Every structure is written in structure tokens, then in C-alpha cells.
Amino acid sequence: MSKNSKKILNHLSKILEKKNLKPTDNISELKLFDSIIILQIINMCNLNFKKKIDGLQISKCKKIIDIINLIEKK
Amino acid sequence: MIKEINGIKIEGISCCVPKKTVLNKYSKENQHRARAIKAIGIERRPVANENINTSDLVLKSAKNILKKLKWKVNDVDILIFVTQTPDYLTPATSGILQDKLNLKKSTFVLDINLGCSGYTHGLITISSLMQNLKLKKGLLAVGDVTTQLVNNKDNVSNLLFGDAGSVTALLNTENNSNKILCNYYSDGSGFEDIIVNTHSLSGRNKISKSDFKKKKDKNNNIRSNINIKLNGPNIFSFAINTIPPTLKKILKNVKNIKYCFLHQANKMIQENISSHIKQNYKNVIFPSSLKNFGNTSSASIPITICSNFSKKKIKGNSIFCGFGVGLSISTVVVNLSKTKIFKIIKI
């Protein structure tokens, strides 16, 4: 896992309030994942990585690694 | 491109909200609601009961400002009313207000259908008309009772909106040192991002019985086609990607800007925009009214002004930035140092 991926995972872990968040975690199994979380992820990408991420793309992600890849590829 | 409207001065700003306040409560068990309230930064909101129309809130504001500024009703040459919750589909509510205020028959009256960018779009429209038609005194009325469009089982929208009305009094001084600077942006491809699907009585969007049927979405929000529907992520992306460059352009070109009054959408948007701006312009202040009033649509900028400055002077130049439904953005730069800001009244 790249340094940048770890940084994104760290931010996601704070947003989702889950300390041991893993890239392989299924989003559908997370307690907190709603429209507010999507806004927080868009916000995090904009402020910390200067990247524009689409809400619809985030909502299509199945696992945490999909979100990380989405942000890295932008 | 920044454009200039000359000779127009804002004389006063008055606001009115319903007496009834709804608290955004949550229990420990409901983590989703608790997180949503924390993220949007709204603790309480003024909410109109079903007997209150937008025009009632605006009428009260108008009477208050006319009295306090000692303006005679016969002196008002133009009244523009910006709302997306008019009293009737037709006729325009501005005519009703004209009658209730007893304004002269030669007053130019007009409704504009806009929400959160309505105050700034309205200021641009009324100022331009006043300058071009050489009208002396004008009233810009804005307001909405958006809570009446929200389904109470729509988990996020149900926490966002407050109801309010406001009237801004404008004077044509014909002195070019009083100027309003403005720019505007519209992207109609985002029309579905803030929408009430069925409030039409004609064409293919004509209201039918099935439009009242409540449906659950994938986030468990319940609403029908007569309720307001928001695409939060799209609105959020639009705001945080479009507003900071617009504001930076203004700050680069206009001196002595002390305050930036943003439309009060939610805390995340405000914090994002202010953090972008403060990287280069540390001293610009972003006043807020979100915590106690919520998102009051087109009235949110005047509500922020009146709730923070009714006893203080607003020094320097101020930016107003309205954004939302359409999708649309408009910004206005004004000097409010001699503007009379009145305390918010309640009905």
C-alpha cells in the first residue's frame, strides 16, 4: 500500500469513526455510511488532496479499497 | 467578469421569522442523526406553522423597514419578491404585497422564482432596474417557508431548513461613489439537484394523485413528489468547486473586503469555502447564522446580517454570495457601513 493510500485510509478511518478500518472492509457492513459520509469524503478529497470526487462514484464503491483507488486515480 | 451597477445604496435590512422554533434533537441510539446534526451545524430552526405564508413574513419585514426608515409608501417605485414558496402558483405574490402595503399603482412589481441564490440575484436585478429606469426607492423582498416542502421523514432535509422573510431597502443616490459590484454563474444541467417534482398544474409535470404517494429511497429517506428533493453530494461539489475561485477573483480585484456573507447552506460548505479563502486572505470574516436559524433559503444572507450586526456597524466592503437551486451562484460586493440593520422580528 502506497504512502498516499495509507494517508487516504487514515482520513477515511476518522470520517467513519473506525480505528481499525481495512482496505478490504465491505462498505455495506459499516455502521456509518450515509449521504453525510459521502459529503465528508468529497470534502476531505477537496481539502487534503485538491481532487474533485463525484458523490455517485463514491456510492458505487463496494469496498474501502475502491474509494482509495477512486481518489488516487483522479 | 465583475460588473458594476452605479448609484445604488442599501439603506436598510429587516428580517422576520416565525415564533415557533424546532430543536434538532437526537438520542444516543441514533448515531446517524447525531452525526448529521454535527456535520450540518444546525441546532435550532424557526418553523412556520401551516397558517403562515411567505408573504406574511415579508409583509412584517416590509412594514418594519418602512417605519424605521421613515419611508412613505408612495415613494416606493419598485418591489421585487424572490421566493420559491409563493402564496399562489398564480398570481405573483409581489402584487399581493403591493396591495397589502398600499404601494402606489405605478410601482413596478415582479416575482422571481429562486431559492438560495435569490438574495444576490434579486439585488442584481432590482439595482439594475433602478439604475436604468432611474427609480428612486426600491424594496427587495426575499423569503421562503421551505419547511412546508420537506417530508418529516426525509432524514437530512428535515434538519436543514428554517423559514424566514426579509426586506432590503435600496436607494438610488445617482452618485457613482455608491456602487454594487456583481458577477453570476448558472448551470441549468443541475436543475434536478434541488427539485420539487410536481408543483405544476399544466403540462407533463401536472400534479396527480400518485404524486402524493410516499416512497423510500436507498438511504431510508421518505418523500413524495410534492416534497423537496436534494442531491446533497452534487450541490456540495458544485459549491466547493465553483465558489472559492469566484470569491478569490473578487478579493483580488476589490480592496478593503472585511466580511464575506455566504448563503447558509450547511457547516461543511462554509468551513470548506472559508478554509480555501483564508489560505490567501486571512482577515476576511465569515459570519454565520446556521446554528440558530438553519438554511433559510434566499433569506439566509439578510438573516446572517441582522442576527450578527443589528447593534454593530459593518465596516469596509462586504461580499454576499448566494448559491443553490438551478444550479446558480451570484456574488455582490456592497458597502454596508451606512446601512441600518434592524433586529429580527418574530410573528
Residue in B156, B234, B237 nearest the CB of A36 = B156
Question: Tell me, what's the pLDDT at B166?
Answer: 98
Question: Tell me, what's the pLDDT at B291?
Answer: 96
Note whether A42 contacts B236, CB cutoff 8 Å: yes
| CA R_g for chain B | 19
Residue in B31, B233, B241 nearest the CB of A39 = B233
Helix axes B267-278, A35-49, angle to 10 degrees: 0
Helices (H) and strands (E) in chain B, counts: 9, 18
Confidence of residue B261 (pLDDT cuts 50, 70, 90): very high
Question: Tell me, what's the pLDDT at B232?
Answer: 86
Note whether A43 contacts B35, CB cutoff 8 Å: no
Note whether B272 contacts A32, CB cutoff 8 Å: no
**Burial zone of A62 (CB within 10 Å; 0-12 exposed, 13-18 middle, 19+ buried):** exposed
Q: What is the percent of chain B where pLDDT is above 70?
A: 100
Start-to-end CA distance of chain B, whole Å, equals 41
**Residue entry with cell 409535470:** B205
Phi, psi of B303 (to 5 degrees): -65, -40
Q: Which residue is closest to B234 within chain A, CA to CA?
A: A55
Q: Express each pLDDT in B239-253 by its tens digit.
A: 999 999 999 999 999
B156 CB neighbours in chain A (<8 A) are 35-36
Note whether A55 contacts B275, CB cutoff 8 Å: no
Question: Tell me, what's the pLDDT at B197?
Answer: 86
B322, B119 Cβ separation under 8 angstroms: yes
User: Considering only A44-58, B250-264, B276-290, B328-342, which range has the smallest mean pLDDT?
Assistant: A44-58
B238, B265 Cβ separation under 8 angstroms: no
Residue B29 has pLDDT above 80, yes or no: no
Indicate the average pLDDT of chain A.
Answer: 88
Question: Tell me, what's the pLDDT at B167?
Answer: 98
Query: Nine-digit cell at B24?
Result: 434538532
Q: What is the percent of chain A where pLDDT is above 90?
A: 30
- The minimum CA-CA distance between A42 and chain B, rounded to whole Å, is 7
Residue in A40, A47, A53 nearest the CB of B275 = A47
Helices (H) and strands (E) in chain A, counts: 4, 0
Q: Which residue is closest to B273 within chain A, CA to CA?
A: A47
Q: Express each pLDDT in B281-321 by its tens digit.
A: 999 999 999 999 999 999 999 999 999 999 888 999 999 99
Start-to-end CA distance of chain A, whole Å, equals 17
Q: DSSP 3-state assignment of B63?
A: helix
Q: Express each pLDDT in B34-81 by its tens digit.
A: 888 988 999 999 999 999 999 999 999 999 999 999 999 999 999 999
B136, B77 Cβ separation under 8 angstroms: yes
Question: Tell me, what's the pLDDT at B224?
Answer: 86
Kindly report whether the peptide bond that precedes residue B244 is cis, defined as omega within 30 degrees of 0.
no
Note whether B233 contacts A36, CB cutoff 8 Å: no
Among B236, B242, B243, B327, pick the best mutation site for testing chain A contact (most A Cβ within 10 A).
B236
The domains of chain A, with CATH numbers, are 3-73 (1.10.1200.10)
Confidence of residue A27 (pLDDT cuts 50, 70, 90): confident
Residue B33 has pLDDT above 90, yes or no: no
Question: Tell me, what's the pLDDT at B94?
Answer: 97
Check if A43 contacts B (Cβ < 8 Å): yes
B279 CB neighbours in chain A (<8 A) are none
Q: Express each pLDDT in B173-214 by its tens digit.
A: 988 889 999 999 999 999 998 898 887 777 888 888 888 888
Note whether A35 contacts B31, CB cutoff 8 Å: no
Confidence of residue A54 (pLDDT cuts 50, 70, 90): confident
B268 CB neighbours in chain A (<8 A) are 39-40, 43
Residue in B36, B233, B272 nearest the CB of A47 = B272
- The minimum CA-CA distance between B298 and chain A, rounded to whole Å, is 23
Indicate the average pLDDT of chain B.
Answer: 93
Average pLDDT rounded to a whole number, residues B159-177: 95
User: Considering only A69-73, B74-78, B152-156, which range has the smallest mean pLDDT?
Assistant: B152-156
Average pLDDT rounded to a whole number, residues B264-290: 94
Q: For domain B1-347, which architecture applies?
A: 3-Layer(aba) Sandwich (3.40)
This model of the complex carries an ipTM of: 0.80
B234, B192 Cβ separation under 8 angstroms: no
Note whether A36 contacts B234, CB cutoff 8 Å: no
Question: Tell me, what's the pLDDT at B206?
Answer: 84
Average pLDDT rounded to a whole number, residues A17-31: 86
Average pLDDT rounded to a whole number, residues B215-225: 84
- The minimum CA-CA distance between A17 and chain B, rounded to whole Å, is 11
Question: Tell me, what's the pLDDT at B34?
Answer: 84
Question: Tell me, what's the pLDDT at B220?
Answer: 79
Confidence of residue B26 (pLDDT cuts 50, 70, 90): confident
Dihedral, CA atoms, B25, B214, B84, B259, nearest 10 degrees? 30
- The minimum CA-CA distance between B302 and chain A, rounded to whole Å, is 27
Tell me B197's DSSP state: S
Q: What is the percent of chain A where pLDDT is above 70?
A: 100
- The minimum CA-CA distance between A56 and chain B, rounded to whole Å, is 8
Residues 2-61 on B with a CB inside 8 Å of A are 31-32, 35-36, 39-40
A42 CB neighbours in chain B (<8 A) are 233, 236-237, 240
Residue B339 has pLDDT above 80, yes or no: yes
The rounded distance, in Å, linking the Cα atoms of B332 and B120 is 6
B194, B171 Cβ separation under 8 angstroms: no
Query: Nine-digit cell at B224?
Result: 413524495
Question: Tell me, what's the pLDDT at B96?
Answer: 97
| Strand residues in chain B grouped as ranges (E) | 3-6, 8-17, 21-23, 44-46, 76-82, 108-112, 137-144, 164-172, 179-186, 194-196, 215-216, 222-223, 228-230, 257-262, 317-324, 328-335, 340-341, 345-346
Check if B292 contacts A (Cβ < 8 Å): no
Q: What is the percent of chain B where pLDDT is above 90?
A: 76
Question: Tell me, what's the pLDDT at B203?
Answer: 83
The rounded distance, in Å, linking the Cα atoms of B194 and B196 is 7
Phi, psi of B14 (to 5 degrees): -130, 145
Confidence of residue B133 (pLDDT cuts 50, 70, 90): very high
